[in-house]
Structure 1
Amino acid sequence: MSLLEVKDVHGGYGGAPILNGVNMSIDKEDVGVIVGPNGAGKSTTLKAIFGLLEVTDGSILLEGTEVANMQADKLVPMGLGFVPQEFNVFTSMSVHENLEMGAYIRRDDFSDTIASIYDMFPPLKEKRKQNAGELSGGQRQMVAMGRALMSQPKLLLLDEPSAGLSPRYMMEIFETVVNINQAGVGILMVEQNARQALEFASKGFVLANGKNRFTGTGRELLDDPEVARSFLGG
């Protein structure tokens, strides 16, 4: 049984269709990467999975349980985490307070989880008392990812984690994504830096007009001449 199965999902905002039959499957050992042109439905797919827009048709299964149109506050305890592209940190709160906010559903001692996140993101430990709004873009992304990991998700959804970052920070974030996955968390992410992300993707999904255009391993998509020509700039 897959960790996540998205089957022929349709949906949108205010009755306007954006998703027109999206299909994808993710296991806990997978790093899944969604790429495609602007307006293809990439971020919308993540929002549909996380209950942030109405699914009008199709099925979303999390460990075999139907979760389509389930509210986000019900999905987090089931093991789903989401890091949006923007407004993903509490800017007036310290790094440490941001991480504590990520543990709001937990009633156990989560000090070990915070310690492991500081090990994963050493810059955050140095700046743990600093307000998140004062950090660089890359460090804010680390805070957002760390906060999502505080709920100990089984699957982490990442919406363009490298957006606006320098090449150095982009590669740091991608390396961290791989480390999170190797620690036992499934990953499904949307990325504009398609070539770099597909290099480490176990599964890749090219969306166009709200549905799958190509599906395969990251390497298969990188080696496909039509994918390269139409979606990767040649």
Structure 2
Amino acid sequence: MSLLEVKDVHGGYGGAPILNGVNMAIEREDIGVIVGPNGAGKSTTLKAIFGLLEVTGGSITLDGQEVANQLPDKLVPLGLSFVPQEFNVFTEMSVHENLEMGAYIREDDISDTLDYVYEMFPPLKDKRKQKAGELSGGQRQMVAMGRALMSQPKLLLLDEPSAGLSPRYMMEIFETVVNVNKSGVGILMVEQNARQALEFASKGFVLAGGKNRYTGTGRELLDDPEVAQSFLGG
């Protein structure tokens, strides 16, 4: 039984279908990367998993439990966290306050998790008293990911974590994704820098028209000439 199983999922906004049969499975040791053209349903898939749009068909299970159409506040205690692409930090709060907000569901001592997050994102420790809105784009992304980790998720959903970042910050974020995964958290991410992300992906999913066009390891997709020609720019 996979940590996350998405089976033949259909859904959309206001009755307009966007997902037309998405399938994917993620284990805790996996880094899954979703790529594809604009409008393929990539971010919509993450939102469907996290209960942010209506699933009209198919099944989504987390640790064997059906979670399709569960609200996010029910999913976080089950071990799911989501970092959206935009508006993902509280800009007027300090870095430290942002991280504390990520632990809102917990009633235990969060100090060890705070230490873990500051160890995972060293630049944040020095800036912990600074307002998150004053940070660079890359550092704000670190705050958003760190806050999501404060709930101690089994699976972390990331929507375009490198969007708008410089190449240096992009690589820093990707290295952190790998390190978070090594610490025991499954990853499922949508990424526009497809080639770079597939280099470290254990599983890759190419979506087009709201359904899977290709599924394989990151390496298999990179080495597939059809995938490279149609979806990776040759």
Deviation at 1:223, TM superposition (A): 0.1
1:140 aligns with 2:143: no
3-state SS in 2 of match to 1:199: helix
The answer for the alignment partner of 2:35 in structure 1 is: 35
Matches within 5 A, 1:215-230: 215-230=215-230
Matched-pair identity in %: 88
Distance 1:119 1:70 in 2: 33
The answer for the alignment partner of 1:157 in structure 2 is: 157
The answer for the alignment partner of 1:86 in structure 2 is: 86
Distance 1:168 1:33 in 2: 20
The answer for the alignment partner of 1:44 in structure 2 is: 44
Deviation at 1:47, TM superposition (A): 0.1
The answer for the alignment partner of 1:172 in structure 2 is: 172
Deviation at 1:22, TM superposition (A): 0.1
Distance 1:128 1:5 in 2: 36
Distance 2:137 2:100 in 1: 20
2:147 partner letter: R
3-state SS in 1 of match to 2:151: coil
3-state SS in 1 of match to 2:78: coil
Distance 1:112 1:72 in 2: 25
Moved over 4 A (4+): none
1:146 partner letter: G
Distance 2:210 2:116 in 1: 38
Distance 1:22 1:160 in 2: 19
1:44 partner letter: T
Deviation at 1:83, TM superposition (A): 0.2
The answer for the alignment partner of 1:102 in structure 2 is: 102
3-state SS in 2 of match to 1:77: helix
The answer for the alignment partner of 1:70 in structure 2 is: 70
The answer for the alignment partner of 1:6 in structure 2 is: 6
1:188 aligns with 2:185: no
> Any unmatched runs of 5+ in structure 2?
none
Matches within 5 A, 1:116-135: 116-135=116-135
> Any unmatched runs of 5+ in structure 1?
none
Deviation at 1:161, TM superposition (A): 0.2
Deviation at 1:46, TM superposition (A): 0.1
Distance 1:63 1:102 in 2: 22
Distance 2:116 2:46 in 1: 26
Deviation at 1:165, TM superposition (A): 0.2
| Aligned residue pairs, count | 234
1:17 aligns with 2:24: no
1:84 partner letter: P
The answer for the alignment partner of 1:202 in structure 2 is: 202
Distance 1:182 1:129 in 2: 28
Alpha carbon RMSD of aligned pairs, Å?
0.2
